Each structure stands twice: as structure tokens, then as C-alpha cells.
Amino acid sequence: MKTIVSYQGERGAFSEQAAKAYFGKNSTAIARESFHDIFQDVAKRRSSYAVVPIENSLFGSVHQNFDLLWKFKVYIVGEIKLRIKMNLLALPGVTIKDVRYVYSHPQALGQCEKFLRTLKRVAVTPFYDTAGAARMVAEEHRRDSAAIASSQAASDYRLKILRAGIESDHKNFTRFLIIGRKRIIPRRHPKTSIIFATKNIPGALFKCLSVFALRNINLLKIESRPIVGAPWEYLFYADIEGDAGEFERVNALNHLQELTTYYKNLGSYETGGNVNP
């Protein structure tokens, strides 16, 4: 039986590429409209997993998904870092001289700013989705327009790649989390993600980090998000090296709970490698 995986966006979205790269061909990727939908799919057993973009190396965190990790009873079971390659797509036969309009998601347009400045007499227009822009150009037979999207979107909507790799900085990766309903035990390169709120005591965050530092447990990342209804108070999202089931980590995380007013263990999983689609 095929594994069913939810992703946000249209067919040809970067999230779909991440789903295919992680789960391989023996999986069915389901396109959903919102991030909330894909979390709900997992929680309500409509799919086994969801592929969640959490951070882009140029633009930073996708905060909505941090909030959904806090809200839903799901666990992180894997990670993948996808190299994001942007391409200029148009209908077959259209040349770059014919292009008067370029459509894409604002983030994608931002990533291709240097390239776009080299085009003359072209209106650059924000669109809600990269793959959606490709679909629109194809379905409306727009011979004066191009979309910026993945190479997968080119083949899905039968468009031609006019220019490949047009992003300004090639060190452009998006980190995706794989979420499921059950915790897993990672086999190699484990990491653990947690959420916590500090007690209102002096040096609170310093003391929370001490539970890791004094045990030589590497802190990989820390991020703060506002607590709704409590202005200027924050939840911290931290990634630490190692599996939460190891002796020192069990102690460290118990120690952390002495110092926090809220604590959630999002799960331990294998650190994802970089993947070229």
C-alpha cells in the first residue's frame, strides 16, 4: 500500500518535491490549500504524514508552522533540506523577448531579483503560489507571460524552461519537517525538538540553556514566538543534538521542566541531509 503524504500548495510545488524526495515513488502526495489542512490531515488520520516547510536559508522561519506544531498533537519524525532552484517557465515557442509579465510568489520573485533586473520592459507581478503561477500561464495560454517555479512545475504544466537556476544566491535551501502521529526512534544523527516557556525568574533563559551546556549537549537552534494573549511573553522552540531517550538527555529535559511553565517534546528524528531535486 502506498504511503499517503499531505503537502501545502499546488501540483509542482517545492513541498511536493520534498515529499517525493523523502518518501520516494512508493507514496501518494496530496495537495492541500493551507498549512492548517496538512496538520489536520495527519491528526485526523486522512494521511500518514505531512511535509512541512519550517525554514528557508535566505528568508528564515515559516512562523505559522511553528504555531501549528505547538497547537496539534503531532510529532516530528524526519527532516529534509531541499535545494531550491528557480526557473523561468513559458509556453513552448515563447522566447524571452516575448515576455512582458513575470508571475510568481513574492518570496520567489525576491530570490530572483538580480535576474529580473536584467529583463527590459517586463512587469513583475506577485502571485499566491509558484506552481499556481505556472498553471495559470499554461491554462490561460499566456504567450506574453512567464512564471518562476520549479522544474517539476514545468513538466506538470507542459511549459518550457527559458532560464534555469535564476535565483540570486545559490545557497538556497528550504528545511522541511516530516510530521506523523507517533514518536519514532532515530537510527543515526539524531536531533530533538522541544518547545518551552521560561518561568519569570532572573536569568531564566540562561538557566534553561545551562541544562544542555553543562552536559555538553549541543544546542542547534533556538527561536522565539509570541504567546497569544500575553504581550511580550514568548515560547522558545529549540533543537538539540541527540535522542531524547539517552540518559543525559532524559536528565537534561527533566531538569528543564523545573525551570519552565510550559514544555512540549516534539520528538527525536534523524537530521536531514541536503537534497537536490
Asked if 273 interacts with its own copies (CB under 8 A), we say no
Which of the ranges 18-26, 113-121, 165-173, 255-263 carries the binding residues for its own copies, by CB under 8 A? 165-173
CB of 202 to its own copies, least distance (A): 6
> Which of residues 156 and 239 has its CB atom nearest to its own copies in the complex?
239
Q: What gap in Å lies between CA 119 and CA 117, rounded to an integer?
A: 5
Binding test (CB under 8 A) with its own copies, winner from 118, 155, 218, 254: 218
> Which of residues 144 and 233 has its CB atom nearest to its own copies in the complex?
233
| Active-site residue, 196 included | no
Catalytic residue among 14, 39, 174, 192: 174
Asked if 231 interacts with its own copies (CB under 8 A), we say yes
Q: What gap in Å lies between CA 17 and CA 134, rounded to an integer?
A: 15
Asked if 107 interacts with its own copies (CB under 8 A), we say no
Amino acid type, 169: D
Amino acid type, 141: H
Which of the ranges 93-101, 141-149, 202-210, 261-269 carries the binding residues for its own copies, by CB under 8 A? 202-210
Amino acid type, 90: A
Q: What gap in Å lies between CA 180 and CA 3, rounded to an integer?
A: 12
Asked if 3 interacts with its own copies (CB under 8 A), we say no
| Active-site residue, 176 included | yes
Binding test (CB under 8 A) with its own copies, winner from 203, 251, 257, 261: 203
Binding test (CB under 8 A) with its own copies, winner from 221, 250, 251, 258: 221
CB of 160 to its own copies, least distance (A): 30
Q: Binders of its own copies: how many residues, by CB under 8 A?
A: 36
∠ CA 41-45-181 to the nearest 5 degrees?
90
Please state the φ and ψ torsions of residue 174, each to the nearest 5 degrees.
Answer: -115, 130
Asked if 207 interacts with its own copies (CB under 8 A), we say yes
Restricting to residues 33-92, which ones interact with its own copies according to CB under 8 A?
55-60, 63, 81
Which of the ranges 11-19, 29-37, 222-230, 256-264 carries the binding residues for its own copies, by CB under 8 A? 222-230
Binding test (CB under 8 A) with its own copies, winner from 96, 123, 222, 250: 222
Contact at 8 Å (CB) between 164 and 119? no
Contacts of 121 (CB under 8 A, 6+ apart): 100
Task: Tell me which residues touch its own copies (CB under 8 A).
Answer: 55-60, 63, 81, 169, 171, 173, 175, 202-203, 205-207, 209-210, 212-213, 216, 218-219, 221-226, 228-232, 234
